[in-house]
Structure 1
Amino acid sequence: MGRVLPVGQLKDVDELDEIDEQVDRVGGVEPLKPTALQRVAVVDDHRAVADAMAFAVDREPGLTSVGVAYTAVSALEMLQLETPHAVLMDVRLGHDDGIALTAELTKRLPDLRVIVLTAHLDQGLLRRAAEAGACALLPKDGSWEDVLAALQTASRDGFHVHPKLLRGLVGSQPARGLPPVDLTSREAEVLGLLAEGRDAAEIARSLGIAVLTSRGHIKSVLAKLGAHSQLEAVVTASRLGMVSLRGTG
């Protein structure tokens, strides 16, 4: 596995002088097989950073870079020629919007996993990224190890937010004016597991209940917290002091 480097500093790698302008391409659009290379595209308006990430991808066993785009238009053109399994997407692309591009890409390719990199997170960006179909939100100044972990574990039907971004979001929004929330003991257990990043199936297994029952408790927790998503529920609960956000940042 590659060295731990902040994503924003990948351009400092000495080997970048040797980057070939032609990226490896793997044909076909079939689903990823256990022994197949995972095809990764990079979209970032900073050319040095984008090229560095593609170079780093190619150094990793099991991964191959299939293209680099610096604008939304070039990204859409690239995906007419290549069908990656995952895209590393900068949230800001000059005059273009990385979240809007994410929505367009996931609409065209429903199985595509988009990992969005951002320097800051607010409630609006959190919602937009989830609604756009992103599978992960990572800090742009995070480590390359975080990116690799997301490439290996983030699922198309999930939405992972790095703890550093979540803690920043919670810290930037004071809890003044929020009404008290009265949860049942079971709902409190479910909320605690949501804060650990568990999904409905994992919560069901942990509590020994049916998945349908687990989903019912989650729905009730969201309603009581006035949240539209599980992540929003966790953020709101953290601001109220009902749960703590753990994890390394």
Structure 2
Amino acid sequence: MTIRVLLVDDQRLVRAGLRALCAPEDDIEVVGEAADGLEAVRLADRLVPDVVLMDLRMPRMDGIAATTAILARRPRTRIMVLTTFDDDDHLYPALAVGACGFLVKDATPGELLDGIRRAARDEHPFSPDVLRRVVNQAVLSRRSPQPTPAVSLVEVTDRERDVLALLGAGLSNAEIGERLQLAVTTVKTHVANLLTKTGSNNRVQLAVLAVRTGLPEAASADRSRHVDGVQLGEGGPHDAG
């Protein structure tokens, strides 16, 4: 199946670069381009893209408003945000209105193409740097020094808590697997279970949940009580929690 992609960015050169990147791919077709949010909403209605690559800062209508409008009309559309390193103020709002993933604009071509394919598969592609920035915002926004445990964590296993804590520390699946001595596929399974059990839409929401419930801090404190560098929740590569 060919993935239909709509490019949304107010910079013509950025759109041209994205189109050129996608052109050689047999499974990806750029069906349209929009220079602002209003045009993006109109084209999404007419072209019915599978994935929208969405800029956040645009004239007339920004990416957050456009994402909201598109998903209100076509909730199955997958919207992946392309962000810059100075756009942190827009990350939480874009996440809240339903963006499925966030990639930095200087991602490699392979990362971008993989992100499009993952978004089309109903996955949630995130650049690790973006995840860390969102988590840092969550840390700074915490107002109570004593975190309140969330009811949604009641059914979470000990191993899933370990994974959730490391998500909250901004680690990627590969880094979590290395830290806990788990296969990456096992980490992905734990993340999928966490999404279901907590009602989260993506790994960024999981990371924020972890921070707000104090899991990364608790994990760090627990590790500091161990000797000889033994870390929290270490287990064999096939440990499924």
DSSP 3-state at the match of 2:93: helix
Deviations 1:33-62 (A, max 9, x none): xxx221111000011111221222112221
Q: Is the 8 A contact 1:193 1:203 kept in 2?
A: yes
Cα distance in 2, alignment partners of residues 231 and 96 from structure 1: 29
Q: Is the 8 A contact 2:7 2:52 kept in 1?
A: yes
User: Who is 1:203 aligned against?
Assistant: 190
Q: Is the 8 A contact 1:112 1:156 kept in 2?
A: no
Letter in 2 for 1:240: E
Structure 1 pair 239/42, CA: closer, same or farther in 2 (3 Å)? Answer: same
Letter in 2 for 1:242: A
User: Who is 1:242 aligned against?
Assistant: 219
Q: Is the 8 A contact 1:51 1:68 kept in 2?
A: no
Structure 1 pair 112/73, CA: closer, same or farther in 2 (3 Å)? Answer: same
- Cα offset, 1:98, TM superposition: 0.3
Give the alignment partner of residue 4 of structure 2, picking from 14, 39, 51: 39
| Structure 1: gaps of 5 or more residues | 1-35, 206-210, 223-227, 244-249
Deviations 1:141-177 (A, max 9, x none): 2222221111111257554432111223445655896
| Structure 2: gaps of 5 or more residues | 174-184, 221-241
Structure 1 pair 199/80, CA: closer, same or farther in 2 (3 Å)? Answer: farther
2:98 paired with 1:133: yes
User: Who is 1:86 aligned against?
Assistant: 51
Cα distance in 2, alignment partners of residues 180 and 110 from structure 1: 33
Cα distance in 2, alignment partners of residues 242 and 144 from structure 1: 35
2:62 paired with 1:100: no
Cα distance in 2, alignment partners of residues 180 and 234 from structure 1: 10
Cα distance in 1, alignment partners of residues 16 and 191 from structure 2: 43
Cα distance in 2, alignment partners of residues 180 and 84 from structure 1: 41
In the superposition, the TM-score normalised over structure 1's length comes to 0.62
Aligned-residue RMSD, C-alpha: 3.9
2:22 paired with 1:57: yes
2:209 paired with 1:233: yes
Structure 1 pair 176/108, CA: closer, same or farther in 2 (3 Å)? Answer: closer
User: Who is 1:208 aligned against?
Assistant: none
Identity of aligned residues (%): 27
Cα distance in 2, alignment partners of residues 214 and 165 from structure 1: 19
Cα distance in 2, alignment partners of residues 114 and 204 from structure 1: 21
Letter in 1 for 2:113: L
User: Who is 1:66 aligned against?
Assistant: 31
How many positions carry a matched residue from both structures?
194
Q: Is the 8 A contact 1:137 1:162 kept in 2?
A: yes
